[in-house]
Structure 1
Amino acid sequence: MNKIMNVLEEVLLPIADKLNNNRYLTALRNGFMVALPLIIFGSIFVVIANFPFLDQVLSEEAYTAYKAALDPASAATLSIMGLFVIIGIGYKMVEQRGGEAIYGGVVALASFLILTPQVLEETTGVIPTNVLGAEGMFLGIFTAFIAAELYHFFVRRNLTIKMPEGVPSAVSRSFSALIPITFTLTIFLVIRVLFSLTAYETVQNFIYTLIQEPLTALGSGLPATLIAVLLIQVFWFFGLHGQIIINSVFDPIWYSLNDQNLAAFQAGEELPNVVTKQFIDTFIVGIGGSGMTLAVIIAIFVVTKSRQLKELGKLGGPAGIFNVNEPVIFGLPVIMNPLILIPWLVAPVVVAIVTYFAMSSGFVPKPAGVIVPWTTPALLSGYLATGNNIMGAVMQLINIAIVFVIWLPFLKVLDNQYYREEVSVDTNDKNSAATSTSTTTA
């Protein structure tokens, strides 16, 4: 066991450290965080617009009007989420370098719009919303990275207009950004023209055909998902935030798959993907946090006898309900604890496999594309994520039971160890107290 841990530590820790400190992955992660409130807002109204049985309670005319009134909430957020991510990435990229971050965001957005086809069927001057969402996500990410780097490059070369003293700072900053933005956008305009001369016609088609489509197909499969889930657990075991590290790489894929399901759900069509952002967040991480430790807390209350674990259960229980599990990770502890390495790694993988096949077979509905806030308690989150279907909550109950069973023997071993240590300490304390009393009497 020690040899395996040493090998994992020597191989994985340097990789994780590089990923965690990579400025592009950091900007990507933070860019999604900028978009998250808007995404959640849109998801809330998707849920409200699709309450079960409303179509049976309301008349057809009233139901149509109800949907029409609420649909703009998701159309203005979820359907064009790529735009918000692009602004966030550009902003964070320039902010990291100490520049005028807002210009990083707007130059990234403008560069993306220059590359985006502005034709819908035979109508020109119109941008299809699908290319502003999942379909354009990868182009948006690459564009934001390159645009922010170009903008910063021109600023660093002092290719700016210096305004005289006394000019308002807002005006001065605007003119300072003029030349770097002009050069950056000109480069993207040239790229658009060059691609129009190729068989792909647009950069959008090129990126989607050669990069996004293959990666999305890979990320939607079970093998890649299991690798991602396993790596999350391994990084956490060594004290690194596995969720942040792995999400930095997989979020563009998972969000794209999520958006495809949402479009199908809203259109009343069959959902195409099992693996989505909500598959990971709701049915694995969203059951107590990374490692699905809500089941561990339940097991602590049911079977343990050591004071240490019982106090940990009291401390971690309320937080675990809302999927915050740092008390368990650091209090059990999970980090570098060989006694719980096996259940820590195995349980989420088993749950991912069971959930995948339950959804593939139709026993449980696939995630509907609704982004459920990560702090939503289990059962409610499963119900919402599957388009207000009770089987989503049932699936989460099954997953809790699976984790409970896998953890049980290992938790008992840990509990027995803590209990023996506590009994030993109590015995020593009693002996010390008795000795002290005898000495005083004498």
Structure 2
Amino acid sequence: MNKFMQVLENILLPLADKLNNNRYLTALRDGFMVALPLIIFGSIFVVIANFPFLDHIISKDAYTAYQNALGPASAATLSIMGLFVIIGIGYKLTEHYGGEAIYGAVVALAGFLILTPQVLDKVTGVIPTFTLGAQGMFLGIITAFVAAELYRFFVNKNWTIKMPNGVPGAVSRSFSALIPITLTLTVFLVVRILFSYTSFDTVQNFIYTIIQEPLTKLGSGLPATIVAVLLIQVFWFFGLHGQIIVNSVFDPIWYALNDENLKAFQAGTELPNIITKQFVDSFLVGMGGTGMTLGVVFLIFLIGRSRQIKELGKLGGPAGIFNVNEPIIFGLPIVMNPLILIPWLLAPVVVTIITYVAMSTGLVPPPAGIIVPWTTPVIINGFLATGNHWQGGALQLVNLLVVMAIWWPFLKILDKNYYETEKKGA
């Protein structure tokens, strides 16, 4: 066991360090964090707009009017979430370089809009909202990276307009950014013109066909999800924030899948994806935090004998209800504890498979694309994530029992060791 752990440590710690310090993955993660409050706002109103049984209580016309009144909340946030992510990435990456972050944000947004076709059903001067959401997500991310890098390059070349002393700072900075922004956006304009002569017609079509569609299909499958979940668990075992590391790679895929489900849910059609952002956040993380340690807390109260374990349960219980599990991870401890490596890795994989099978067979509806705040307690979380279906909450309860069953013998051994140590000490 010690040799195996040493091999894992030698391989994973350098990898995790590189991923944590990668400026692009950091900017991507922080860009999604910028968009998160807006996404949650839109999701809350999707839940309210589709409140269960309301369509049976009021008339059809009143229900339609009710949904239309609340519709702009999600249309102005969830449907165009790509725009907020682009702004966040451009801002954070430019800020990392020590540049004027606000100009990095706006040049990223403008570059994306230049590459986005502004035509819908032969009507020019309009931008289809689907290009600003899931379908345009990957192009937006790439554009934000390239725009921020080009802007920094031109600034570092000192291709700027220097204003004399005495000119207000805001005016001086605006003129200083003029040439770098102009050159950066010119590059994007040239790219758009060149692609208009290809079979793809637009950069959007090229990125979606060549990159986004294959990656999305890969990320929507069970094997890739199991690998992602395992990596999250392994990184956390070594004291590294596995979700930050792994999610920075998978979030663009999971959010795109999530958005597809949301559109289908709002349209009343069949949900196309099982694996989405909310699949991971609600049915894995949303049960006490990473590793679903709320099940461990319940076990502590059921079988705990040692004072250390009992006190940990009292400390970690209230936080675990709201999916905060650092007290358990570092207090049990889970980090670098070979006694619990097997349940720590096994339980999330088993739950992932159970959840996928339950949804693929129709026993439980797939996630409806609604972003549920990560602190939402278990059962309520599953109910909301599946579009107000009780089966979502029931599945979380079943998964919690599965986690407890897997952890039972290992926690029993750990508790016994602590109990005997305490007896000797007494």
Q: TM-score, normalised by structure 2?
A: 1.00
Which residue number corresponds to residue 401 of structure 1?
401
Number of residue pairs matched by the alignment: 426
Structure 1 residue aligned with 2:219: 219
Q: Distance in 1 between matches of 2:135 and 2:168?
A: 41
Write out aligned runs for 1:371-410 (5 A).
371-410=371-410
Alignment of 1:53-72 (within 5 A): 53-72=53-72
1:358-379 deviation per Cα after TM superposition (whole angstroms, max 9, x unaligned): 0000000000000000000011
- The amino acid that maps onto 1:368 is A
- Which residue is equivalent to 1:266? 266
> Which residue in 2 is equivalent to 1:322?
322
Aligned to 2:22: 22
Question: 1:179 maps to what in 2?
Answer: 179
Aligned to 1:150: 150
1:439 is matched with none
Question: Cα RMSD over matched residues?
Answer: 0.4
Query: Amino acid of the residue matched to residue 393 of structure 1?
Result: G
What 5-or-longer segments of structure 2 have no aligned partner? none
Q: Distance in 2 between matches of 1:402 and 1:253?
A: 28
Q: How far apart in 2 are the matches of 1:175 and 1:285?
A: 47
> How far does the alpha carbon of each residue in 1:191-240 deviate from its partner, in whole angstroms, 9 at most, with x for none?
00000000000000000000000000000000000000000000000110
Partner in structure 2 of residue 440 of structure 1: none
Determine the structure 2 residue equivalent to 1:252: 252
Q: After TM superposition, give the deviation of residue 165 of structure 1 in Å.
A: 1.1
Q: Aligned runs of 1:40-59 on 2, under 5 Å?
A: 40-59=40-59
Q: Corresponding residue for 2:105?
A: 105
Instruction: Quote the offset at 1:262 in angstroms.
Output: 0.1
SS of residue matched to 1:368 = coil
Letter in 2 for 1:236: W
Query: Residues of 2 paired with 1:191 and 1:61: CA distance?
Result: 48
C-alpha deviation, 1:166, in angstroms: 1.1
Instruction: Describe how 1:307-318 pairs up with structure 2 within 5 A.
Output: 307-318=307-318
In 2, the alpha carbon distance for the partners of 1:175 and 1:380 equals 52
* Ranges in structure 1 where 5+ consecutive residues have no aligned partner: 427-442
Runs of 4+ in structure 1 deviating by more than 6 angstroms, as ranges, are none
1:109-147 deviations in Å (ceiling 9; x for gaps):
000000000010110111000000000000000000000
Deviation of 1:37 after TM superposition, in Å, equals 0.2
What corresponds to 2:130 in structure 1? 130
1:167 aligns with 2:167: yes
Q: Distance in 1 between matches of 2:322 and 2:116?
A: 40
1:200 alignment partner in structure 2: 200
The code of the aligned residue for 1:148 comes to A
Q: Give identity over the alignment, percent.
A: 75
SS at match of 1:225: helix
Report the secondary structure of 1:164's partner residue.
coil
Partner amino acid, structure 2, of 1:248: S
Shift of 1:61: 1.3
Q: Give 3-state SS (helix, strand or coil) of 1:274's partner.
A: coil
SS in 1 for 2:43: helix
- Per-residue Cα deviation, 1:315-368 (whole angstroms, up to 9, x for no partner): 000000000000000000011000000000000000000000000000000000
Q: Does 1:38 align with 2:38?
A: yes
Paired AA for residue 96 in structure 1: H
Matched, 1:5 2:23: no
Deviations 1:241-268 (A, max 9, x none): 0000000000000000000000000000
CA distance in 2, matches of 1:92, 1:66: 38
* Matching residue of 1:349: 349
**Greater radius of gyration (CA):** 1
- The code of the aligned residue for 1:208 comes to Y
Q: Secondary structure at the match of 1:239?
A: coil
Rounded Cα–Cα distance in structure 2 between residues aligned with 1:77 and 1:147? 23
Structure 2 equivalent of residue 305 of structure 1:
305
Hey, what's the Cα distance between the residues in 2 that align with 1:248 and 1:369? 19
d(CA) in 2 for partners of 1:108 and 1:234?
A: 35
Q: Deviations over 1:84-131 (max 9, x none)?
A: 000000000000011100000000000000000001011011100000
Q: Distance in 2 between matches of 1:317 and 1:156?
A: 52
Alpha-carbon distance between aligned partners in 1 of 2:379 and 2:118, rounded to the nearest angstrom? 43
| d(CA) in 2 for partners of 1:205, 1:353 | 34
**Which residue does the alignment assign to 1:89?**
89
Partner secondary structure for residue 362 of structure 1: coil
What letter corresponds to residue 374 of structure 1 in structure 2?
A: W
Alignment partner of 2:296: what SS?
A: helix
What is the identity, as a one-letter code, of the residue corresponding to 1:388? Answer: N
Aligned residue in 1 for 2:240: 240
